[in-house]
Structure 1
């Protein structure tokens, strides 16, 4: 018997989901909407329909690409092209970066001078711009046409659509969804319910105990009166003037103008219907012309043909914004069968629907969705205050130029390690990640730059972009780690305690490597999905027969663990991150510094690599793991948070005679790149197999079974492989996502990069054709420059792995 599916919402997402799910063979599908079909009154009904495919996220670009492809097939797409113009040098440089993203993701694009821009869009004043970025395959989605066309295809396969059928309650029983109840008292039984209700989705989620982190926000849109210059019916490209938070599209002889420059205005869902009572639909608020005045003045300057034109109409349309700008997709962990597909704009709608349909029907989407996953946020990020503040910031930053190392400015200080006050006293500059304050470098180490420069260490001068959120102190910190000893705050590393009589069997089934070794063993292993893609990488320490400590990557790992727990209560998983802390002590003098504090033998023979030891440093109970993400002698040293400050002081005092320093994240990243260590989510994702990502050594194929094993056994050799490349110019730096060219053809893209103080060059990872051999020359486009580099055998530094086994 086929699963019964109910989709809440018949907008662009709900109709696409019905089409994609029925295409995969599930045809018992009911789609309900509180409004008429198909102009339902939600965001789809007034969406301007601009589809720009270029995005810094490969996933979002892929979702947009499929949307263009599908809507073109449905004759619901007008490929007028997209044009983004720069009026400042900073924006012009950023358009080069966007051009690089497009080449990395395979999107046709080109950079134009002002006259070429004006030729494409004759209303432009070329004297007002420095240049433009043109994407000819972008265009206008005919959202209502696409919604109805997808619905008609689903109906032809057996789906039904119900207008004026508002779902007011989601029904449940025995831990799973059982159906929905509508405003008129009807009940629709269901095995799967998908909430695609747009900005109403958060309210429906709240009713079943699910936080859907989105904020409905008002956004200004206006249309001009007739523009004589458009009397000939010219088809102009979509236009973005992001320096002024503006975009434009034509409607025959009129121009539509969208504006993000006004203050963010969250919508109060409690008063929405009365606030929109005078408008044509509940997703449209009355226009606020006084807020639009700066947009209109700037539009007349950029497009002089508007000088004598009046605005004919306008409204403040409601869209969903999220804390990080990505959609909210996934299944409710505590109510099986209830899915959400929210905060999805028309641009990505068909792509999202295909991926979510695959996820529901087959168990695993073909595309990596970790950036969009419902459970990607930390606990504190589920608070109403956090969601509101960060979503408002996302609105403000829609068209801002965001540096890859630029972190949110507020709220900050939500998660700090016990070492925080010590770090501030040493002049730490903090990045933020997972809501943790993470030192990037320390001003206290500034004196080392002169000392090391005198010894011949190079400190190259960076350009303005790569020099942002950066300090050359980080080079000194990395070099000092290789020659002396350094302390790194590893507290933000997510940690789980997995315990119980079934813990070993549970972890064996969940991960790729053999984690069933004797107590005291530490194992690097992977979590795979059912397609054999890498969901995460883990460090598993067996502390006793029934107790494991797992180093993970974040909330998505906890979600995966929780969903796979056996039902017999034999396994308990606990997130212990906040109650514990960790210092990494690494460098050739690490043993000299730490051994006097410990009664146990910390020699290589007494405490070998990839081993764990529960012991004491001074009077402090600790768990020490002989692992090193920086590829140096040393340990990760864990204790409970109550002992954190004392542990820091003990080690700091013991290290004084060895000139210990504390080092930050930039040095840490540099050192791990030297050693060929991958970063999940950046270098490898669920779209990559272990072999392709260079972590096949973490797969024990002799194990009887583990999730993803069958897929690996039938996998074809990878066409692309993650490789290390070393830039030729010692002053050249890249930051990630830049296109890599071989013999004039784009062959791949950079994932992450960092300057190596050991070899005096920037090292980067790149996905490249598997056939490319070490020594091959490649070119990397970085902003307005092109750098040459060489593919390098791994690891670049210490290939004999002797440093960590001293």
Structure 2
């Protein structure tokens, strides 16, 4: 087969999609609909059911998720499949969904899920046990407390949806080739050039791995890490039920979740299909799954279907019969253990690899999200970015320490076990911990730190050593949910920071070193603010994409003419900068080799100044300045920054000197009453000042003006995204990131709740925390532009909590506490 060099600038690029399951078929349809018609879809198995997870998927589509991105993916899947037919049969059956509660804890969770649904635009309501019985007459009403009914959810006929999209893509020029096993990925100059199969080689400008649980196999061929773990999941069908006899429709009742026992149910005409997550995790080695064998085609089992294990099923069967008494008169007719994919955080893995340009991943995707994922990836490939925020799914999001096979296996298995669990937004996964610790970890343990986890890092949220400081604080009682992973000690630590001085471990915050002759020009071009300042300057600035969306926010310290330290967010920031860096710029992630202590509070200068010969006065060391100095025996880079709204510094040193730095500061601060403070207090303090958190308060769906960050934009300079911003008037915005103060001093919300304006859901909360200085809970929310003083309601666990639009910053608007 003839081959030509890769050319990603072709008007009609050559695309090879590996995998003809629901994701591959959906992607071919989405790409060809956007004019990329030179698309070849390869699969090792026979079409239309090549044997992957799609071939056995039960097709449940519950749209509501704590993740706005996953919910939007699912909404598009419902919308698209609802418009498709194959052989006159609809590809989606909107029977609705019903999630049951048999415990008070689950019922409270269903109210929270109803809040997510309202926030993300999904119809749903919490209903009583009687209504659950009407919707599903076979249930034993006496064991049910209530349910969450979503009328637009339903059943996706995955293989029919594959066929319908395949036919549309073929009509536009795509081709689908089955019985082609991929044996290699060719590359040249860091770009993919072809896919090699046992039946020929296919030149390509872009290759998309949509291979499902075979993703790691394809990734290894390309030299690209694919962090997913396949696991087997039990699914069974009953014998015919008398109660369902005479039915002709495949299903007429809502798909049913019995999450308290890790079970779900759907009708198969006169039978019930049952899926269980209650059994032990059953990991599958993707490299051991047999490939399609033409010689054994008639006798070969579906590769994604493993033998049913009755011993794992037995406890679940008893629970099924308890909920649905009609099952006591029947038995399981057929069952299998179906293989599908889990990642360490339960999210898909999407995007283009920087290690091999033109090689894309669309992996760990369930039928529920398939069409939405395909649309996002197609937009990404054709337009340069998806139309919605996908940072939670970005293939770069995992740290190096989170990519070991052992970590992926352990976390993937835990995701399986917890798929239906009630998970608090702050709840960390239990294993493997500790994985990453700062140099101060031993001292933190001695102080009784309560650790949560993020990015593999152990992060203190409060310290039991400060418990006595909380005595006598007049704090409102919290509900059981908001009291999880919280302590009144956080209020004491916030107060100590406002009144005295505290040490904060800021080590997990990402640090990049950017050096080289072209470093200044490069960073100034990539970001929105003016970086052409003398060494010693620190600048808050933004990374935008070409549409003006906020990819990240950064603090950039110019430490020398051609050396910068950049405070960044996720690994995606490093990836983005490396993709654009010219040859005369070097970028290194120095996070793991360094550490940072934030010293903040009115007495911060009293603590730090005696340790150094340099002048730390406001006149000599102003706000947003940096200086290399020594604190005692420790060389540090000191930056006059504060994300808690108080006087202080971020103090950086190498990891080997971190413990000495902590001990030096601690000893020097004893006479001042210094404490260690955690992230719970930090979050409260930063929200009182209105400081944004990227990925929570704003993403690339938002521009700087909407997010209240227009001060970090210099429109008179050239930067990525400037042209897009020129068409937007900063003072004429349809929506804004809006500060809210809850009216009731005892009320608390946590984030992602719907905000009602005049009784109508009009936006959602991003960040929220009790403001201990203000005596009110602070919430930020994306809302239509509203005047200060406007009354709104936040729906929290089924209750409508009054709140008021406030002016920001809520605390110290004249910045007198920081600039002193």
Question: Is it true that 1:711 corresponds to 2:721 in the alignment?
Answer: no
Q: Mark the CA change 1:274 to 1:379 in structure 2 (over 3 Å): closer, same or farther.
A: closer
Q: Distance in 2 between matches of 1:633 and 1:321?
A: 45
Q: Which residue is equivalent to 1:15?
A: 25
Shift of 1:272: 2.4
- TM-score of the two chains, using structure 2 as the length reference: 0.96
Secondary structure of the equivalent of 2:478?
A: coil
**Given that residues 275 and 285 in structure 1 are in contact (C-alpha distance below 8 angstroms), is that contact kept between their aligned partners in structure 2?**
no
Which residue is equivalent to 1:448?
A: 469
The equivalent of 1:341 in structure 2 is 362
Q: How big is each residue's C-alpha offset from its partner over 1:418-464, in whole Å with a ceiling of 9 and x where there is no partner?
A: 111111101100111111111100011111112xx3xxx42222111
Shift in Å, 1:227: 1.1
Contact 1:54 1:98 in 2 (8 A): yes
Q: Does 1:417 align with 2:417?
A: no
Matching residue of 1:136: 151
In the alignment, what sits opposite 1:592? 606
2:121 is the counterpart of 1:106: yes
Residue 535 of structure 1 aligns to a residue whose secondary structure is strand
Q: CA deviation at 1:209?
A: 1.9
Query: Counterparts of 1:225 and 1:408 in 2: how far apart (Å)?
Result: 39
Specify the SS of the correspondent of 1:439: strand
Aligned to 2:706: 692
TM-superposed deviation, 1:230: 1.3
Q: Is 1:513 aligned to 2:538, yes or no? A: no
What is the rounded CA distance, in whole Å, between the counterparts of 1:728 and 1:270 in structure 2? Answer: 57
Whether the 8 Å contact between 2:600 and 2:648 is mirrored in structure 1 is yes
Q: CA deviation at 1:672?
A: 0.2
Assess if the C-alpha contact under 8 Å between 1:778 and 1:788 holds in 2. yes
TM-score (norm 1): 0.97
- Is residue 565 of structure 1 aligned with residue 581 of structure 2? yes
What residue in structure 2 maps to residue 223 of structure 1?
A: 237
CA offsets 1:188-223 (integer angstroms, 9 cap, x no match): 111011111111111110222211001111000000
* 1:264 Cα deviation after fit: 0.5
Match of 1:236 in 2: 253
> What do residues 455-490 of structure 1 show as CA deviations (whole Å, max 9, x unaligned)?
xx4222211111111100000000110011111011
Match of 2:286 in 1: 269
- Provide, for residues 553-609 of structure 1, a one-character-per-residue CA deviation record: whole Å limited to 9, x for no partner: 02111111111111xx21000111111111110111111111111111111111111
1:212-262 CA distance string (max 9 Å, x none) = 001111000000111111124261110000000000000111110000000
CA–CA separation in structure 1 for the residues paired with 2:181 and 2:722: 44
Deviation at 1:409, TM superposition (A): 1.1
Q: How far apart are the structure 2 equivalents of 1:672 and 1:333?
A: 34
Distance 1:574 1:183 in 2: 40
Cα distance in 2, alignment partners of residues 249 and 708 from structure 1 = 48
Determine which of 547, 550, 574 is the counterpart of 1:534.
550
- Which SS does the other structure have where 2:706 is aligned? helix
Q: Which residue of 2 aligns with 1:122?
A: 137
The alignment status of 1:251 with 2:268, answered yes or no, reads yes
Report the alpha carbon displacement of residue 138 of structure 1 after superposing the two structures with TM.
Answer: 0.3
The whole-number CA distance in structure 1 between the counterparts of 2:537 and 2:289 is: 58
- CA offset at residue 532 of structure 1? 1.0
Aligned partner of 1:499 in structure 2 is 515
In the TM superposition, what are the counterparts of 1:454-465 in structure 2 within 5 Å? 457-465=473-481
Asked whether the 8 Å contact 1:458–1:760 carries over to 2, the reply is: no
- Secondary structure, aligned partner of 2:161: helix
Q: Cα distance, 1:168 vs. partner?
A: 1.4
Deviation at 1:756, TM superposition (A): 1.1
Matched, 1:375 2:375: no
**Match of residue 773 from structure 1:** 787
Structure 2 residue runs of 5 or longer lacking an equivalent are: 1-9, 85-89
- How many angstroms does 1:271 deviate by? 3.5
Root-mean-square deviation (CA, aligned residues, Å) is 1.3
Q: Deviations over 1:264-297 (max 9, x none)?
A: 0111234322999976411100111121111111
Label 1:320 to 1:436 Cα distance change in 2 as closer, same or farther (>3 A): same
| Equivalent-residue separation in structure 2 for 1:715 and 1:19 (angstroms) | 33
1:324 corresponds in structure 2 to 345
Matched, 1:651 2:661: no
Structural mapping, 1:399-798, within 5 Å: 399-450=420-471, 453=472, 457-566=473-582, 569-703=583-717, 705-715=718-728, 717-770=732-785, 772-798=786-812
CA contact (8 A) 1:279 1:286 kept: no
Following the alignment from structure 2 to structure 1, what is the Cα–Cα distance between the partners of residues 515 and 292?
53
Alignment correspondent of 2:67: 57
Q: Does 1:166 align with 2:176?
A: no
Q: Is the 8 A contact 2:219 2:226 kept in 1?
A: yes
Match of 2:204 among 155, 168, 190: 190
Find the residue that maps to 1:133 and give its secondary structure: strand
Aligned to 2:329: 308
Contact 2:186 2:196 (8 Å CA) reproduced: yes
Does 1:68 find its partner at 2:78? yes
Separation in structure 1 between the aligned mates of residue 230 and residue 670 of structure 2, nearest angstrom: 54
Indicate if the aligned counterparts of 1:525 and 1:538 stay in contact, CA closer than 8 A.
yes
Contact kept in structure 2, 1:167 and 1:183, CA below 8 Å: yes
CA displacement 1:53-85 (0-9 Å, x = unmatched): 000000000000000000011131000000000
Aligned CA distance change for structure 1 residues 270 and 571 (closer, same or farther; 3 Å): closer
SS at match of 2:391: coil
**Structure 2 CA distance for aligned equivalents of residues 388 and 13 of structure 1:** 23
State the alpha-carbon separation in 2 of the partners of residues 280 and 661 from structure 1: 63
Query: Is the contact made by 1:524 and 1:698 (CA closer than 8 Å) also made in structure 2?
Result: yes
Cα distance in 1 for residues equivalent to 2:321 and 2:291: 34
Q: Secondary structure at the match of 1:272?
A: coil
Partner of 2:103: 88
Q: Establish whether residue 287 from structure 1 lines up as the match of residue 308 from structure 2.
A: yes
Given candidates 140, 146, 161, the residue that maps to 2:161 is 146
1:376-391 matches, within 5 Å, as: 376-391=397-412
Contact persistence 1:279–1:285 (CA under 8 A) = no
CA deviation profile, 1:142-163 (whole Å, cap 9, x unmatched): 1011011111111111001111
Separation in 1 of the partners of 2:662 and 2:609?
A: 15
Structure 1 residue ranges without an equivalent (≥5): none
Contact preservation (8 Å) 2:349, 2:363? yes
Question: Aligned partners of 1:380, 1:646: CA distance in 2, in Å?
Answer: 25
Q: Per-residue deviation at 1:785?
A: 2.5
Deviation at 1:126, TM superposition (A): 0.8
Give the distance between the partners of 1:805 and 1:493, measured in 2 at CA.
24
Aligned length: 796
Deviation at 1:502, TM superposition (A): 0.3
Deviating 4+ runs (over 4 angstroms): 274-279
Distance in 2, matches of 1:413 and 1:92, equals 33
Q: Deviations along 1:359-391, whole A, 9 cap, x unmatched?
A: 011111111110001110000111001000000
